[in-house]
Amino acid sequence: MKKLCSLLVALAMCASLVACGGSDNSQLEKLAEVYNQVAPLYNEAYTTAEQNGWLADEQTAAELEALSATLSYVGSGLTEDASKLEDTDIDALIEQLEVLQPAVEELVERVSVPYGDAG
């Protein structure tokens, strides 16, 4: 279900980028590209953490919550209200998401075992 939602969000972002014109279009396209790489990883991390009991771990829960807030902000700016991103340094946001990608991949790996079995 979450994969389907991610796909729908990605398609909506693509449609919104096609509808948007202007000089910042290439920046928004790059932002959408990086977002579309990180968002599915987040969904995998959250689903796996939930299945393996990692939401009981305060640090993991806080990391997932922070990722959710960041991705929600970017996603809503790309799909619902582009004005949210007007005063944002898009290049810095792209860079931050690129740095987050390997961290989220590590998070997926960490939560892939049951919570009590981590060591």
CA 118 to chain centre: 25
Check pLDDT > 90 for residue 95: yes
Of the candidates 52, 70, 32, the one whose C-alpha atom is nearest the C-alpha of residue 107 is: 52
Q: How many domains does the chain have?
A: 1
**Residue 78 tokens, joined:** 């790309």
Phi and psi (nearest 5°) for 89?
-75, 100
- Mean pLDDT computed over every residue of the chain: 83
Q: With 0-12 CB in 10 A as exposed, 13-18 as middle and 19+ as buried, what is 118?
A: middle
Range of the domain at 99: 2-117
38-75: per-residue pLDDT in tens? 999 999 999 999 999 999 999 999 999 999 999 999 99
The whole-number pLDDT of residue 83 equals 84
Query: How would DSSP label each residue in 24-50?
Result: THHHHHHHHHHHHHHHHHHHHHHHHHH
